Amino acid sequence: MEKKKHFYIFVLVLLLGIPATLITYLFIFIIDNISINIINYFSSSLLIILIPGLGGLLVGFILKYGNLSAKGHGVPLLLTTIKSEKTGLTKSDLSSEGLATTLTILTGGSVGLVGPIIELTTGITDLVGRYLKLNLLDYQILIGSGAAASFAAVFQAPVAGIIFSLEVIHKDWSLKNLFYTSIASFSGFYIMNLINPQYNYLFQSDIKMENPNFNQYLFILLFAFFISFIGWLFINILLFNEKIFCSIEIPLYLKPMFGGLLVGYIGYHYIQIMGTSSRIICSLDQFKGGINLLFFILLLKIVASGFSIGSGGSGGLFAPMILIGLLSGLLVGNIGLIYLPVYAINPLLLALFGIAGIFGGLIKAPITGVILILELFYLPNLIIPLILISFIPYIILNLLGVQSIYSPTLFKRKL
């Protein structure tokens, strides 16, 4: 009987690449593309201010008449769910989250897609696990495997998907968890690659660098402190906005609308901050703009994401965090080239370091950050700098008492 049960779990985990890929395809290739077209169409019109407000109003009605689980980003809800097989996500939770996220993204809300993709994939495993009445350990295996499959499908990085699940979702590196998350992760990677072999979430560039010299190591350390500050700023702006919107005494459904209008106003002046910003993320190597533009997009993306999530909008934080990490590296890298050429590092390389720093500082997943960059860009001679840039923000933000951005206790589920 025990062998039969393990066989069924093995088959379920092996097949998780299918829903992970389908959900990824739906959000990235359909919903995000429609959002980009809407934003581009209205980019030069004052209507661009109103469109995120309309989306926020519709999300507000979902929160009022549907389910409050649709508010904010979904990974914290997943981390609460995994603690017990008795209570978890419902079909109503998943449909509310999916619809609210879709509306927020379609209308230009400054949110991401990766978190909702992970939540919806794991939501399916949650429902299946409770339907089959699995014990807590087997239920957690399904949840963690769903996260690994969806991460691998989105980033096309199966090893990083395994590490993400173990480091962030399971928080348990047992051989059993490693075995099943490996199967799920490679399933998500393979099926996504089968459907669209040309797909890449991040920009593709043949970045090479010799082993850093002493001066460059100093610059890397300086950047590690800078990305720590950016991470601290981002999470505190999110919390500040949530506090402000919670304290405003207006009807529930109007709060995301006001957040959306604020995003629209910023977007009217800097259209790059609207939506998932996926076009910048996947073509950063072609970014044209000076230091001033980089600075304003970085700062305003942080502010706009705070308005979208803090007001009750629905969506993920992965994309905003990745963009913030990339822009931070590009900004500091270009400043270095101009003012400190002896210490400077290729700005695109520093942009990748920025992703690793954000993973370490905000997600509390420094190993995932290192592995993700190594896996996608193959930079084996830069392992030590990547470790430094991932673990220094992790240590600094821990010393400052900053919780993981995915901590279930960090954000509220009420307005």
Q: What mean pLDDT comes out for the span 292-306?
A: 95
Q: Are residues 147 and 269 in the same domain?
A: no
CA nearest 256: which of 84, 57, 36, 76?
57
234 with 374, same domain: the answer is yes
Greater confidence, 409 or 167? 167
CB 59 within 8 A of CB 255: no
C-beta atoms surrounding 263 within 10 Å = 35
Based on the domain organization, do 220 and 186 belong to the same domain?
A: no
Note whether 17 and 188 are within 8 A (CB): yes
- Whether residues 132 and 22 share a domain: the answer is yes
Q: Are 258 and 318 contained in the same domain?
A: yes
Q: Are residues 117 and 172 in the same domain?
A: yes
Q: Are 191 and 219 in the same domain?
A: no
Number of domain units in the chain = 2
Amino acid 70: pLDDT: 54
Residues 183 and 222 in one domain: no
Convert the pLDDT of each residue in 147-168 to its tens digit: 999 999 999 999 999 999 999 9
Same domain, 244 and 302: yes
160 & 240 share domain: no
Of residues 303 and 204, more confidence is placed in 303
The answer on pLDDT for 213 being more than 70 is yes
pLDDT in tens, 160-200: 999 999 999 888 898 999 999 999 999 999 999 999 999 99
In this structure, are 47 and 166 located in the same domain? yes
The range of the structural domain enclosing residue 81 comes to 2-195
For residue 414, pLDDT over 70 is answered with no
State pLDDT tens for residues 339-379. 999 998 999 999 999 999 999 999 999 999 999 999 999 88
Per-residue confidence band for 250, with pLDDT thresholds at 50, 70 and 90: confident
- Asked whether the predicted pLDDT for residue 117 surpasses 80, the reply is yes
Question: CA–CA distance from 238 to each of 202, 232, 296, 323, 405 (Å)?
Answer: 24, 10, 18, 16, 10
Q: Which of 195, 222, 246 is the last residue of a domain?
A: 195
Residue pLDDT, tens place only, 61-109: 888 776 665 555 567 666 666 665 555 667 777 788 888 899 999 999 9
Instruction: Give residue 73's pLDDT.
Output: 57
